[in-house]
């Protein structure tokens, strides 16, 4: 589906210039308040804009309240709210809660596994979710243990090809997906700054227990990341990032292709014209193969998007095992008041496969550059890069790693 997103340059400019004074002008009795417009673009999802609000250190505690409203491509409409770091008895033991919903998001994806080259599909989806996580921190958050749950419900609307034509799928039965996640994590941070580090190293290990109400196997995914910051001088930092993710099946469900096709119940011979019937049959084959591969092997955290393999759309490469190694060279320059302007060049290489023994037989690479505006706790990041599938760019909040 052709996208008609116009960059909201005025909103971006207001956001950047407001970072310098927002907290200072919204402080009362130890609490701080911020409300800012924002604009963003994520490859494979499209562009959106809206407004976000944040109240920090409520009542003199560490608790923050955040909320956002966004609209964008394909009549996307979304809201989210979160209560962050609510103290539970002790200041270093906190609870964070959040929830939100999104309607009519258009998501570009393929049903191929690993580096398979299958047709790109655009799916219209609606979903909502909520969750909570408990965190126990030590040594000023240098060591953190966390555990929580998340509940995500999603439903599928229409499917389109990249030309915007609806894919005819007569009588398809795609059950609304209700997923439950049990989450566990540990992090060690030996950097000079928790939010904008320029020196040191940090480690993270996350476990994700995936459960659902459909014919998809339930899985346990373990993801590990290490990021090192090497200062070359006062203004230049060389960053290295390594990431691994591995899934294992805990409850295996159906792996017989004929049974999967029976559940999907697609009657492609009822399509209006032969071309539509052929398109329907390709969709059915790719979806069936994807479900069977997941049920046999599980699905790890994907590669592609604004963090790892940036020249590819979000969640481009999915399989049971994923590996990534990336590096960035970052230059910081004075920008406005206490804000910094950062120019970065980056490169990375990634591998995914359903079989761990085949992980390094094929890879995808990425090269690019980015421009960022940095405050003490927030980064506005514009990154663009090139890979085997061409050029992609992202405009998002937050550092890549």
DSSP 216-257: SPEEEEEEEEEEEEEESSSSEEEEEEEEEEEEEEEE-----H
The pLDDT confidence band at residue 9, using thresholds 50, 70 and 90, is very low
Count helices and strands in the chain by DSSP H and E runs:
3, 17
Task: Give residue 33's pLDDT.
Answer: 84
Mean pLDDT of 40-53: 92
Element of type H or E holding 381: strand 379-387
Rg (CA), the chain: 22
Task: Give residue 381's pLDDT.
Answer: 95
Mean pLDDT of 108-112: 93
Please determine, for residue 5, whether its predicted confidence score (pLDDT) is greater than 70. Answer: no
| Structure token digits, residue 138 | 């030590």
Mean pLDDT of 61-76: 90
The pLDDT confidence band at residue 80, using thresholds 50, 70 and 90, is very high
Query: Is 210 in a helix, a strand, or coil?
Result: strand
pLDDT in tens, 128-183: 999 999 999 999 999 999 999 999 999 989 999 999 999 999 999 888 889 999 99
Average pLDDT, the chain: 91
How does 152-191 read in b/e, with b if 16+ C-beta sit within 10 Å? ebeebeebbeeeeeebbbeebebeebebbbebebebebeb
8 A C-beta contact, residue 144 and residue 150? no
The pLDDT confidence band at residue 59, using thresholds 50, 70 and 90, is confident
Please determine, for residue 112, whether its predicted confidence score (pLDDT) is greater than 60. Answer: yes
Q: How far apart are CA 139 and CA 63, in angstroms?
A: 19
Mean pLDDT of 2-31: 47
Q: How far apart are CA 105 and CA 75, in angstroms?
A: 7
- Least confident stretch, 27-31, 256-260, 320-324, 377-381: 27-31
Task: Give residue 66's pLDDT.
Answer: 94
Task: Give residue 27's pLDDT.
Answer: 52
Task: Give residue 251's pLDDT.
Answer: 97
User: Looking at beta carbons, which pairs linking 83-90 to residues 24 or more positions away fall under 8 Å?
Assistant: 85/135, 86/61, 87/61, 87/62, 87/63, 88/134
Mean pLDDT of 198-225: 97
Per the model's pLDDT, the better-predicted residue between 66 and 5 turns out to be: 66
Indicate the length of the chain as a whole number: 401
Contacts of 258 (CB under 8 A, 6+ apart): none
Q: What percent of the chain shows pLDDT beyond 70?
A: 93
Residue (of 315, 312, 323, 291) closest to 368 by Cα position = 312
Q: Which fold has domain 9-397?
A: Porin (2.40.160)
Q: What percent of the chain shows pLDDT beyond 90?
A: 80
Give me the residue label for tokens 């346990």: 220
Task: Give residue 266's pLDDT.
Answer: 96
Task: Give residue 25's pLDDT.
Answer: 45
Residue (of 108, 102, 101) closest to 46 by Cα position = 108
- How do beta strands 76-88 and 31-42 pair? unpaired
pLDDT in tens, 336-390: 888 999 999 999 999 999 999 999 999 999 999 999 999 887 899 999 999 999 9
The pLDDT confidence band at residue 26, using thresholds 50, 70 and 90, is low
Q: How far apart are CA 383 and CA 149, in angstroms?
A: 32
The pLDDT confidence band at residue 30, using thresholds 50, 70 and 90, is low
C-alpha angle 236-393-241 in degrees, rounded to nearest 5: 45
Q: How far apart are CA 201 and CA 350, in angstroms?
A: 21
Q: How far apart are CA 291 and CA 216, in angstroms?
A: 7
Domain ranges of the chain: 9-397
Task: Give residue 17's pLDDT.
Answer: 45
| Structure token digits, residue 16 | 């950047």
Mean pLDDT of 1-7: 41
C-alpha angle 200-364-112 in degrees, rounded to nearest 5: 120
């Amino acid at each position: 589906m052709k996208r008609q997103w116009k960059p909201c340059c005025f909103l971006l400019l207001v956001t950047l210039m407001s970072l310098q004074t927002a907290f200072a002008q919204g402080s009362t009795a130890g609490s701080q308040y911020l409300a800012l417009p924002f604009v963003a673009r994520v490859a494979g999802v499209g562009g959106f804009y809206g407004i976000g609000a944040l109240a920090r250190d409520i009542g003199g505690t560490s608790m923050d309240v955040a909320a956002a409203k966004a609209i964008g491509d394909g009549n996307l409409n979304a809201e989210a709210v979160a209560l962050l770091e609510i103290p539970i008895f002790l200041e270093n033991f906190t609870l964070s809660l959040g929830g939100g919903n999104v309607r009519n998001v258009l998501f570009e994806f393929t049903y191929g596994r690993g580096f398979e080259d299958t047709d790109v599909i655009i799916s219209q989806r609606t979903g909502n979710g909520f969750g909570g996580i408990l965190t126990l921190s030590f040594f000023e958050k240098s060591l953190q243990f966390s555990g929580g749950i998340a509940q995500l419900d999603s439903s599928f609307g229409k499917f389109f090809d990249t030309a915007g034509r609806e894919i005819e799928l007569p009588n398809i039965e795609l059950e609304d997906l209700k997923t439950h996640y049990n989450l566990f994590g540990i992090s060690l941070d030996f950097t000079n700054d928790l939010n904008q580090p320029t020196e040191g190293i940090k480690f993270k290990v996350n476990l994700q227990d995936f459960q659902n109400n459909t014919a998809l196997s339930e899985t346990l995914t373990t993801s590990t990341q290490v990021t090192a910051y090497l200062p070359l001088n006062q203004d230049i930092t060389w960053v290295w990032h390594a990431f691994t993710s591995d899934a294992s099946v805990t409850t295996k469900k159906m792996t017989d292709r004929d049974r999967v096709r029976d559940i999907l119940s697609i009657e492609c011979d009822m399509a209006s014209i032969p071309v539509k019937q052929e398109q329907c049959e390709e969709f059915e084959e790719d979806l069936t193969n994807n479900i069977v591969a997941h049920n046999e092997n599980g699905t790890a955290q994907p590669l592609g998007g604004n963090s790892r393999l940036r020249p590819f759309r979000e969640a481009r490469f999915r399989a049971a095992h994923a590996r990534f190694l990336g590096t960035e060279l970052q230059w910081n320059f004075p920008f406005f008041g206490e804000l910094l302007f950062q120019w970065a060049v980056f490169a990375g290489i990634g591998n995914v496969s359903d079989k761990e023994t085949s992980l390094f037989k094929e890879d995808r690479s990425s090269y690019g550059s980015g421009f960022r505006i940095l405050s003490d706790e927030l980064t506005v990041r514009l990154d663009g890069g090139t890979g085997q599938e061409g050029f992609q760019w992202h405009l998002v909040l937050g550092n890549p790693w």
